[in-house]
Structure 1
Amino acid sequence: MTPWMSLAVRLQAVALCLMLSTNTVSASQAADQNTNTDLVRQAFTNWQQGQGTAFDLLAPDATWTVSGSSPVSGVYNSKSDLIERAVRPITARLATPISPTVQSIVAEDDVVVVLWKGEAMALDRKPYNNTYLWHMTFKDGQITEVNAFLDTYVLNDLMRRVDPVR
């Protein structure tokens, strides 16, 4: 075998190894992506059935950003902070829990994006219906970061119109 052929064979072997390792990483990423999507789908199903919420997937130190300009818009640096300063003020104005209906779930790598509609009855007996898009980053089966988008006009109306239950 000539030195050039030997080099060509070695290069082919290296290329084959790189290709196989890339496919392994891709397969691993695809498995994580499917697992994360399944976790989100199951959390929303549980929520719909009154057996928890999607917030159950949050890591304790997750960062949650609510977009827009509403009384709860801003950055929350932990699950407990989000629940205390955003979720509770909203749910305190509702006569029924928010019932979610998933419109779509899209995933890529460690990110899952869910578009969903939430319906509830406010304490003043008027409906609270909103549309949400949550861009969630996962690590080890938990959500570590969320960018949440929603109709802040609808949320502002609820927050202004309804006095919370104390």
Structure 2
Amino acid sequence: MTEASVVNSTFTIEHDYAIGPTRLFEAWADPDTKARWFAGAAADHHELDFKVGGLEITRGRTGEGELLTFASRYHDIVVGERIVYSSTLSVREAPVTVSLTTVQFQPQGDHTTLTLTEHAVYLDGHEQPKWREHGTRHHLATLEAELTAPLRQI
């Protein structure tokens, strides 16, 4: 049995993108684009209702076959400027991480600085802050690759 524990942590990541804030923001708002860079091919399910009060749900499996669910609710959206959402990562429907995230888009000439700040509570040792920060950095790099990839054929 896992011993009950709580770890609180906050991290901030800045990432520069060689595009304007409108296109960068759209990569968070468009369900197909978000599924490619955030959920990835390993996800079994991804849905996005990008509006205040809307939900985003991503489901997949661990290497051991356990169900993972990442569910987010959007609390504040200012088009091209910021997104605020809360999330729960669950394993077999038991919450292991609960977080509040703010994403800001700051135009810098012909590019954009994205600043992501996450405040989280990690429950019972299932996840560690450094793992979450590493995963978030990976997502932001995948987003950059998505935005610089050759245009997709429809």
Task: Tell me the TM-score normalised to structure 1 length.
Answer: 0.30
Rg comparison, structure with higher value: 1
Task: Tell me the TM-score normalised to structure 2 length.
Answer: 0.32
Query: Which protein has the bigger helix share?
Result: 1
